[in-house]
A and B are shown apart, each in its own frame.
Chain A
């Protein structure tokens, strides 16, 4: 074991818990860093890390495994991580890894888990991960949630704002929020989406977003927030003109 520091790291990881000595895990950290450039080493490490995720290891150990899978994970990791997407304790770290795994499988797993999420917190987390992946395929289901319960509608709006595709923009323009909380999220999302689209050169998709916010706050807003929204929206409209 002394000749194989990596094997020693995995042994240490199996029994690791927070507050423990992280020194034995250094070899694993180094191996993951080196593996980013070597497909064979990556696959081997990925298998061994997935074994930790699937084992009866501590949360701390699985946490560390997920952090490494975020860096070197592939489609091979998706099924094992997807199993935890509804787990109260571990969903967050499973999503943390899935957000960065390339390939359609990770997005599909997240989208499949969204309707099945038993709690709002879980669903909001999944929406946040879909937004982090800029998952265009998630736009229809997110658009559908704009008329759902208030916490989900607000999270769906913010996710659409981050995805910032033309289809997401259209969904945000069409949104008709019925509560102040959702209206605030929709306004923020419209501005964020508009600015992303403008930066990408899509003036036609950006302009209606700014127009919608400008119409909603009017010409004489009284609150500080609405003044800021008016400035952002009117500024966006000017930029749309200038970039034409």
Chain B
């Protein structure tokens, strides 16, 4: 049978010609812009009934009505959103607030024109609900109002902050952050970090490297989501800063290089940047590198320790290492050196890193290292610090290690601290209840620290203790 000269139409086959695809796109575009069908008389009647209950119904009926406002299915369409929003002005403040919450849940931006004036209402409940709605449904034009609100106090500022984090207006938020006064800019930089707005990173990097007023806030934001690309600006910011700002800058750089989204690349950038600095600036930056750690920094530190002129600097860097991977190096230096300052420096480092979580050692291994460190201590204050650090190892064996020092007057208070810290963990405490109860009795009889006494009393009674409480 000869084939037909035309193709049978297959409704399930996608057209391939650009002209056909373009026609389909044009039809969909036109359909989306057709005016919605007006509501029926019955729908209007239903809408009026719902809004009458919102305005005048008792609490139960109001809840029923607000559920219908919320649920777009039964009264769908922008016509009802506009109707409901238009009734806002005539309601009491508490009803206004509830209707605003329902309109926010409804998700239709047709409510915005009627809601905007309420964002500066006198009644705080209404203001908060309106600000929350602007955050959820607002447009770029709403950003200035939210920025103004974020500089107010208390709940309004908090609501505006949440709104600025949520609003779909990234360009406007970025522009506002760029132009804001310092106090507001600091808040907006934090908000850019909450929004994880990667397009804001160049703005933050420029601010970190610029005016002192904006530097600290920019660095705080960069600490949260900065990348290798911002690192040079962050280092320049660090080198310009002093005092508390410098400490915060150090923490920000360490965060980007250790927990950031591209931490290995950031660490490599840091090391490369260090190599380009003159020696005076390198000396300032080295402690930051030491806190980052890693093989690149280790190579620098090893080289410095090997040279008499830079040995002390290298050892100080080693003592700042972020993990216990340098334990053997530190032990070796401590054993080999006759310099008491170097010995103490290495001992301090061991006390700090021995109990750190480390993939190389289990809890028993960490406790063994801590006990080894204890044996290296000559001074009671160093032994006391070892005993205090032991509570980072949450095991029964660590408890027995520290409990053994309750009878030593020079070390008893440190032992009390660690016993109380270990007893804070209910699972551990309950698994060895008799021993913990006896030790807590000794704490109560021995300690002079009111907070430890209070905590011991609570743990003996099976209660918990909120670390945020002030004694």
Residues of A within 8 A of B (CB): 227, 230-231, 234-235, 238-239, 241-244
Contact = CB atoms under 8 A, between A and B. Distances in A.
Given A238-B65, A244-B40, A230 B50 contact: no
Contacts, number: 39
A231 B65 CA distance: 9
Given A241-B45, A242-B74, A242-B75, 10 more contacts: A227-B60, A231-B60, A235-B68, A238-B46, A238-B68, A242-B42, A242-B50, A242-B68, A244-B40, A244-B46
A94 B42 CA distance: 48
Given A235-B67, A238-B50, A239-B74, A230 B45 contact: no
B43 A242 contact: yes
A238 B40 contact: no
Interface hub of A238, A239, A242 (most chain B Cβ within 10 A): A242
Interface string B116-153: 00000000000000000000000000000000000000
A227 B65 CA distance: 15
Nearest to B45: A241
B43 A235 contact: no
Nearest to B50: A238
Interface string B134-176: 0000000000000000000000000000000000000000000
Given A244-B42, A244-B43, A238 B63 contact: no
A239 B65 CA distance: 10
A242 B74 CA distance: 6
B63 A242 contact: no
A3 B53 CA distance: 73
A139 to B, nearest CB: 28
Nearest to B64: A235
Interface of B: 40, 42-43, 45-47, 49-50, 53, 60-61, 63-65, 67-68, 74-75
Contacts of B68: 235, 238-239, 242
Main SS at interface, chain A: helix
Interface hub of A231, A239, A241 (most chain B Cβ within 10 A): A241
Contacts of B50: 238, 242
Contact of B49 (A230, A231, A238, A243): A238
A235 B61 CA distance: 8
A231 B45 CA distance: 19
Nearest to A219: B58
B74 to A, nearest CB: 4
Contacts of B60: 227, 230-231
A235 B63 CA distance: 10
Contacts of A243: 74
Contact of A242 (B46, B53, B64): B46
28 contacts: A231-B60, A231-B61, A231-B63, A231-B64, A234-B61, A235-B64, A235-B67, A235-B68, A238-B46, A238-B49, A238-B50, A238-B53, A238-B64, A238-B68, A238-B74, A239-B68, A241-B49, A242-B42, A242-B43, A242-B46, A242-B47, A242-B68, A242-B74, A242-B75, A243-B74, A244-B42, A244-B43, A244-B45
A189 B386 CA distance: 71
Contacts of A239: 68, 74
Contacts of B43: 242, 244
A188 B33 CA distance: 45
Nearest to B67: A235
B250 to A, nearest CB: 59
Contacts of A234: 61, 64
Q: Which 3 A-B pairs have the closest CB atoms?
A: A244-B42, A241-B46, A242-B46
B222 to A, nearest CB: 51
A191 B64 CA distance: 15
A227 B64 CA distance: 11
A191 B390 CA distance: 64
